[in-house]
């Protein structure tokens, strides 16, 4: 009898752990950031002013990161979270975009010029989101990110209060172009890492176009670039998380920067970027990320993802040119 009990206990624990792993291994669905911003403003008594949609979207994305099914997993040291890597990589992709937008809010959107004073709430929120993403000891990662959300909430409340004109959000073409420049670099890196899933021979173009340019150390003129087989699914899910966050931020910015985009005749281009990124969130009808060989028999999910991201990135490059020249 005792022997049966000793066998039953670990078997039961394994079954429970497996069930929780299946339950936690889930990406949140897309939501409507504009509707969420409206509900948020109604619940907190905020006025709907320029900047509320973007700031609310940032708050909601961080909230989704922390309170999705299974909670925040990147700093888990106990089963089942410690056995999962897809969702933690998805979380890291979201976090990169959160950090970029929080910093842009602090440095650009909330300031009229380079010599203007930083917003006190945003100057506190920005470094909190740059806190290490995998710390479980006190102060844990979740606590720091929640504290950052509190400062964003404070900024949002001041932003919609006409009696506190020191809190501002400047919807200008140069501001959104600055943020899109960061997005362009992030997507470009993801696209290259995804494309390298099959391995490529590439010529070194690091110094192309500038005869006086130098670099720290010499690099081979012809090299093979290949993402490790062990990292392929990590890069894929990081890209899924990054584009998930971007979709919400772009939809919110379409509201806050509507007049700027309309006068630059850039609304359609902006919406096309969102549509390209939405394609990256299609369900994965496979138990694993497949890495077929170029024109082989099996699918290559990394190359499909790289295609969508590259198209979105090309549209962002064109949009930035339009915003600067239009």
Q: What is the pLDDT of residues 277-325, one digit of tens each?
A: 999 999 888 777 877 776 666 778 888 899 999 999 999 999 999 898 7
- Residue 216 in domain: no
- Residue 10 in domain: no
Radius of gyration for the alpha carbons in the chain, expressed in angstroms and rounded:
22
Average pLDDT over residues 83-88: 85
How distant, in Å, are the alpha carbons of 26, 30, 80, 286, 287 from that of 283? 11, 12, 23, 9, 11
The pLDDT, as a whole number, for residue 209 is 59
How distant, in Å, are the alpha carbons of 5, 17, 131, 240 from that of 8? 5, 14, 42, 39
Confidence at 13, pLDDT banded by 50, 70, 90? confident
The pLDDT, as a whole number, for residue 202 is 64
- Residue 240 in domain: yes
- Residue 280 in domain: yes
Q: Is the pTM of this model over 0.85?
A: yes
Q: What is the pLDDT of residues 200-241, one digit of tens each?
A: 666 666 666 566 667 777 666 666 666 776 778 899 999 999
- Residue 211 in domain: no
The tally of domains found in the chain comes to 1
- Residue 97 in domain: yes
Q: How many CB atoms lie within 10 A of CB 311?
A: 17
Confidence at 246, pLDDT banded by 50, 70, 90? very high
Does 250 have pLDDT greater than 80?
yes
- Residue 210 in domain: no
Range of the domain at 117: 29-200+224-325
The pLDDT, as a whole number, for residue 124 is 96
């Amino acid at each position: 009898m005792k022997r049966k009990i000793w066998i039953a206990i670990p078997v039961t624990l394994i079954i429970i752990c497996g069930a929780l792993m299946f339950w936690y291994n889930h990406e949140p669905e897309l939501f409507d950031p504009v509707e969420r911003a409206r509900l948020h403003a109604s619940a907190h008594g905020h006025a709907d002013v320029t900047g509320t949609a973007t700031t609310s979207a940032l708050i909601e994305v961080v909230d989704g990161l922390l309170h999705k099914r299974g909670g925040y997993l990147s700093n888990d040291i106990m089963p089942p979270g410690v056995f999962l890597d897809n969702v933690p990589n998805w979380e890291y992709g979201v976090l990169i975009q959160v950090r970029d937008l929080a910093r842009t809010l602090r440095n650009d959107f909330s300031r009229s010029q380079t010599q203007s004073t930083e917003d006190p709430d945003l100057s506190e929120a920005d470094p909190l989101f740059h806190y290490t993403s995998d710390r479980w000891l006190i102060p844990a990662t979740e606590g720091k990110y929640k504290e950052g959300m509190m400062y964003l909430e404070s900024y949002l409340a001041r932003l919609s209060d006409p009696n506190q004109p020191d809190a501002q959000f400047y919807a200008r073409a140069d501001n959104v172009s600055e943020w899109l420049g960061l997005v362009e670099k992030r997507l470009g890196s993801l696209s290259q890492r995804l494309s390298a899933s099959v391995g490529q021979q590439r010529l070194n173009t690091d110094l192309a176009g500038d005869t006086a340019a130098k670099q720290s150390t010499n690099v081979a003129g012809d090299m093979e670039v290949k993402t490790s087989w062990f990292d392929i699914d990590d890069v894929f899910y990081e890209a899924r998380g990054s584009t998930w966050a971007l979709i919400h931020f772009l939809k919110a910015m379409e509201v806050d920067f509507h007049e700027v985009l309309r006068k630059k005749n850039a609304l359609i281009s902006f919406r096309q970027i969102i549509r390209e990124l939405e394609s990256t969130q299609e369900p994965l009808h496979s138990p694993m990320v497949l890495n077929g060989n170029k024109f082989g028999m099996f699918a290559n999910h990394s190359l499909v993802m790289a295609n969508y991201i590259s198209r979105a990135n090309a549209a962002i490059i064109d949009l930035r040119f339009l915003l600067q020249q239009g």
